[in-house]
Amino acid sequence: MPRDFKLPDLGEGVAEGEIVKWLVHEGDSVSEDQPMVEVMTDKATVQIPSPMTGKVGKIVAKEGQVAKVGDVLVTLDDGGSSSTKTDVAQKVPSNIQTATSIGSATQPAQAAPRPTGIGIVATPATRKLARDLGVNIESVAGSGPGGRITDDDVRKATGAQRTAAPVSQQATGQSLGQQQKQVQVQAAASPAPMPQISQALTAPVVKAGQAEERIPIHGIRRRIAEKMSKSLHTAAQVTHVDEVDYTQLIGLREKLKPLAEQQGVKLTFMPFIMQAAVACLKEFPYFNSSIDEERQEIILKHYYNIGFATDTPNGLIVPVVKDVDKKSILQIARELADLSEKARTGRIALDEIQGGTFTVTNIGTLGGLISTPIINIPEVAILGIQKIQKRPVVRENEIVIRDISFISLSFDHRVVDGADAARFATRLISILENPGLFTLGGVRFN
């Protein structure tokens, strides 16, 4: 039976995506959760899995085409006898509730079995939530439109499956830890349905003697171009520049590096800069905000998710370290290394590049004295870190050699004023130049 497969809701307000590359061809056999197509959203390039086992029919959305959520991408055939084309999601049982009885000894009822060949309808974020919570998404009843499984469905199923767990463990003789380890191994061995950033860009082939060549602007390069243009045409951007003396911070880092290495962590300056930035964001909250254009309101964020621009073979990607204010220097360093590696190798997940409230871009590793970074909208500010180098400076009427670098704070003048930017930068500098303030501010190393 032919079924239409439509571009699913990928979350985070994503309304459309560009078809970058089909991983299957018309007539190919596909299994449920097999990566089927690469789609570039304004967040990242993701691989969307097949919702069912069957054969690929007609590929409707061609490579390079921009499809909106709900547009048909491809038809899939589950081998049924009916010739009527249907939507995959329409056949999924909907509004099935998990029955519970207070004080009853009976097990909670699970979702009704899905018809053969019918796939699970759930966003990538919901699938990841299920994996993180150890929930078998196959057994979750979907209460959303068309039987879509929501985050709440997964969370409700967590309690149900935990109740059923002792019976399963008694029958198999496995401990909960053994079961979790087995699930992790199986997940690593099978194709993951969670969309991941893929290797979207390839080096152009240059023909000998060719005076010019034309390279299509698509994939991640198109998204970068669109987002940067939108940022410059939306925000009233201004850049404030100042300089930092890193000499004392370099000394502190050198003392802590061996402790970090003992735990397998490479300690860079970025964790210190992130924590210093968070201290400033708490003191100057409008730098940790966004604008609701429709309602003309400023949204102050009381959580601190710091993005960091990462240069990858596929272009610029901005992973996000969540809740930086709640983490130690060592925890941040570990996450930075992990997210950077995922970004460079194309394995980073959507939720790991979403939800940022403020961004830091370290241009200094590549050289240069001063830059004017473009705001990562909908955020209202971005901090640029430049190259650290030894320079002669005047301290107490004497010329001394210190480790100096410039910082560039680009901000949206619709939200904050230049005076506040100067105060923000001054406060940031005072923290970075006096590492003792990290301790006074309650900053933990591990």
Return the active site residues: 413
Contact 386, 363 (CB under 8 A): yes
10 vs 122, 133, 264, 443, CA distance in Å? 9, 20, 35, 36
Q: Is 87 exposed, middle or buried (0-12, 13-18, 19+ CB in 10 A)?
A: middle
Name the phi and psi angles at 361, rounded to 5: -120, 120
Contact 266, 258 (CB under 8 A): no
Residue 156 is which amino acid?
K
Q: Is 335 left (phi over 0), alpha (psi -120 to 50) or beta?
A: alpha
| Residue among 130, 134, 126 at smallest CA distance from 162 | 134
Question: What six digits make up the tokens of 385?
Answer: 């870190």
As a whole number of Å, the CA-based R_g of the chain is 26
| Residue among 239, 233, 274 at smallest CA distance from 411 | 239
